[in-house]
Chain A
Amino acid sequence: MPSLFRRKRLMIVLLGFIVLVTLIGFSIRDRDSLSTPEKFLQDSVGWMQTIFHKPVSFVDTTVENVQDMFNVYEQNQVLKTRLSEYKGVIQENQRLNKEVDELQDTLGKSEGLSDYSSIQATVIARSSDRWFEQMTINKGEEDGVEKDMAVMTSDGLVGKVKSAGAFHSTVLLLSGFDRSNKISSWVVREDKEEAFGLIEGYDDESGRLLLEGIKLDEELEPGDTVISSGLGGVFPSNLRIGTVEEVVNDQYGLTKTAYVEPFADLFDINHVMVVDRSVETIDTSSEAEGDES
């Protein structure tokens, strides 16, 4: 019965198409948390990755250590010269910290936007599809990780938590940011006030972040530092993001757009900190804008 067979095959193709559209529609919308089966699968694969990660990374770090040993002498020389500078900076820092504490005491304000606690995590895998700029870390909701928290390395911001499972979470890297993941930020300039802007995306071709909505009369220099402002509701302030490389007027000539080179290397990431802001975060899902962070 060829006609029946053909009809069955057609049915399967149609059914497959319906399943595809339904699943994409279900998963691509902005979800607050993953469904339970997804969390379960993510955690089980995460455990296996952790098991395989141990021996492989051991070999990896041993090779790196041997390579490092050849550079130790030169590095030591450079570091010694730096050390004397740091002593001065530390003293100044202590003095300033004390001053800030005193001022905050007089104001009766104990928590600032820059206060945060951090959760240490290790990167155990990265998305195999390069169109998805995300990676898996070995800490989840049980360790206090929540959706939309900032993720940093010692160099600077690398991304934010896209979804948290029970013991593992997925991190969306800066290179995967778009208009629905804005970062409210400040450009720190010498002798001038900070300029405000929003990180609104990533330029794939040059590998730089787009800092948009800067006022036309603000003058930025290449080399100025970009930090998070903490006004977006989720990220604390003073997280280092990157340096301004190039400033252009936007397509309508109303604001300026700066290209920002991220401090952190977005490709070679091994250990990260998940940043938990001390000040209560604002529930952004209720805002019409989507999640500005």
Chain B
Amino acid sequence: MSRYVIPLFCLFLLVMQGMAMSLLPAKLVYSDLLITPHWILIFLFIIAIFYDKDHTYHAVWYGLVFGLLIDVVYTGVLGVYMITYTLIIYVVHGLKKLVHANFPAAFLLAVIGLILADALLYIVYSFVQITSISWVDYGLLRLLPTLAANMIFFTLLYPLVKERAYDWSEEISNV
């Protein structure tokens, strides 16, 4: 069942990500702070930590596919989200061997992954001159608010998904 539920939920998050920007109150979403939702990335972190075994890389492949979808639907510059998400989920997948799979550790991994991912996006986008803000402005206006907003989402999503991801993982390894 997990084979269908995970991609469907990713697709749902992809759709909601864009609708949240047009439907949430404008004062919240369009202040000077450049809050950017990375909901798919957060969800795939949890999948990478609790669903994937050491030798399976489902989350990485989902990162590739849904990163490309974000590129096509929301930015129009192909490849940036795709490569960033794939790489960062791979890194998180590698790091999870070093820690126990519990909430503080997962939270820490998600924070590290988010900072790396968003910084990588900033680096690539500033190379192709889509953005031209300085490092300091980037850190204060985009990185910190984005981190805060997405970690709130992580805290909400974690109890909903964690147990299920673990069960699915057992399910497919027993078959």
Per-position binary interface string of chain A over residues 39-61, scored 1 when its CB falls under 8 Å from any chain B CB and 0 otherwise: 00110010011001100110010
Is A282 positioned at the interface, with any CB of B under 8 Å from its CB?
Answer: no
Is A135 positioned at the interface, with any CB of B under 8 Å from its CB?
Answer: yes
**Contact for B73 among A41, A53, A60, CB less than 8 A:** A41
Per-position binary interface string of chain A over residues 1-21, scored 1 when its CB falls under 8 Å from any chain B CB and 0 otherwise: 000000000000000110110
| Chain A residue contacts of B17, Cβ below 8 A | 128
CB-CB under 8 A for A49 and B15, given A56-B23, A128-B21:
yes
Is B6 positioned at the interface, with any CB of A under 8 Å from its CB?
Answer: no
Is A124 positioned at the interface, with any CB of B under 8 Å from its CB?
Answer: yes
| Chain B residue contacts of A268, Cβ below 8 A | 26
Is B46 positioned at the interface, with any CB of A under 8 Å from its CB?
Answer: no
Number of A-B contacts (CB under 8 A): 112
Interface set, chain B 26-54, CB cutoff 8 A to A: 26, 29-30, 34-37
The segment out of B79-87, B99-107, B108-116 that lies at the interface is B79-87
Is B11 positioned at the interface, with any CB of A under 8 Å from its CB?
Answer: yes
- Find out whether the CB atom of A24 lies under 8 angstroms from the CB atom of B79: yes
Is B1 positioned at the interface, with any CB of A under 8 Å from its CB?
Answer: no
Is B77 positioned at the interface, with any CB of A under 8 Å from its CB?
Answer: yes
* Contact size range, B: 35 or more
- Find out whether the CB atom of B37 lies under 8 angstroms from the CB atom of A24: no
**Contact for A132 among B37, B86, B130, CB less than 8 A:** B130
A28–B75 Cα distance when bound, in Å, is: 10
Is B56 positioned at the interface, with any CB of A under 8 Å from its CB?
Answer: no
- Find out whether the CB atom of A129 lies under 8 angstroms from the CB atom of B75: yes
Residue in chain B with minimal CB distance to A41: B72
Per-position binary interface string of chain A over residues 157-201, scored 1 when its CB falls under 8 Å from any chain B CB and 0 otherwise: 000001100000010000000000000000000000000000000
CB-CB under 8 A for A48 and B73, given A23-B79, A129-B36, A131-B34:
no
- Find out whether the CB atom of B79 lies under 8 angstroms from the CB atom of A128: no
**Contact for B83 among A19, A126, A131, A162, CB less than 8 A:** A19
Is A134 positioned at the interface, with any CB of B under 8 Å from its CB?
Answer: yes
Q: Which residues of chain B have a CB within 8 Å of any CB of chain A?
A: 11, 14-23, 26, 29-30, 34-37, 69-80, 82-83, 86-87, 121, 124-125, 128, 130-131, 142
Q: Which residues of chain A have a CB within 8 Å of any CB of chain B?
A: 16-17, 19-20, 22-24, 26-28, 38, 41-42, 45, 48-49, 52-53, 56-57, 60, 123-132, 134-136, 162-163, 170, 265, 267-270
Sample (5) of A-B pairs whose CB atoms are under 8 Å apart = A26-B78, A45-B14, A127-B21, A130-B35, A132-B130
**Shortest Cβ-Cβ A-B pairs, 8 listed:** A23-B79, A125-B18, A126-B21, A267-B30, A130-B34, A23-B78, A27-B78, A267-B26
